[in-house]
Amino acid sequence: MKLRQIKEFIIEKLIFLSGILSILFVVLIFTFLLKEGFLFFKEISIKTFITGKYWYPISDPEQFGILPLILGSLIVTLGAIIVSVPLSIACAFYISEVAQGRIKDILKAGIEMLAAIPSVVLGFIGMTTLVPFLKNVFNLPTGLTALSGSIMLGLMAMPTIITISEDAINAVPKSYKEGALALGATRWQAMYRVIIHAALPGIIAASMLGIGRVIGETMAVMMITGNAAVIPTTFLQPVRTLTATIAAEMGETVHGSMHYYSLFAIGIILFVITFIINVTADMFLHRNKK
């Protein structure tokens, strides 16, 4: 009995230590970004940095405006939401409420396999298949557009949204569905009038976590969006995202230069955006549990 108590005590402390270390790592990452980015903001105001329309960090004079990068990230993310959220919710309902037996197992295994594919592989697939397809369909000079990035990132976000949405649907008490059926509702009416409303906080949280995955993605979006730092007006033109800018330029900057510190400033903006998304998603998850 005493040995069991010792084991439980050790496991409890290890879990507590893991939680503390996770928080500590996040704080250290933000502190590091803030330390490097602060040197940039001493020279360039945050307002000028965020609202500037031109990103020419190696020109003379240098111009550090990330508005095109923010809008590029937003338009790709918006497109990914349009692609992934409806399909993911429909797929989650099908797996949870319709599919039976072997089909359900196969679908769940396929979703898990999709989540395991590296983003660079998906980016390569997008370059060789999706990009030429969109170029021919829309008769464009290049298929490296925001639409290409949206479709591919939507595909990457789907496993996260499907998995968490399915958990939210399964967490709805069976009595809700049984009560709806007892009152004369059909199976489909029970799903879209009762179950989806009860599972809505979890579905919203799943969608926001998927959005967080999209915003933080680097390799795939860098490979298929064209990397043009211009303010986008449509989905059918090349764009550049915040993450792609950091990945593409960090290896070419002079250490200690304004260009170098500006990439850490972009990292701060990106960190804040993803932090807000994750906190909001966590709030919806807790609301769902209540």
What phi and psi values does residue 166 have, to the nearest 5 degrees? -65, -40
Q: What is the pTM of this model?
A: 0.84
Residue 265 and residue 196 in contact, taking contact as beta carbons nearer than 8 Å: no
b/e 60-91 (16+ beta carbons within 10 angstroms → b)? eebebbbbbbbbbbbbbbebbbebbbeebbeb
To which residue do tokens 């976000």 refer? 157
Domains identified in the chain and CATH numbers: 46-51+69-289 (1.10.3720.10)
Encode the chain (290 residues) as per-residue pLDDT tens digits. Answer: 677 777 787 888 888 888 899 889 888 888 888 888 888 888 888 888 998 888 988 887 888 999 999 999 989 999 999 999 999 999 998 888 888 878 888 888 888 888 888 888 888 888 899 999 999 998 888 889 999 999 999 988 898 899 888 888 888 888 888 888 888 888 888 888 888 888 888 888 888 888 887 888 888 888 899 888 888 888 999 999 999 899 888 888 888 888 899 999 999 988 888 888 778 777 766 665 55
Helix (H, G, I), strand (E, B) or coil at 165: helix
Helix (H, G, I), strand (E, B) or coil at 226: strand
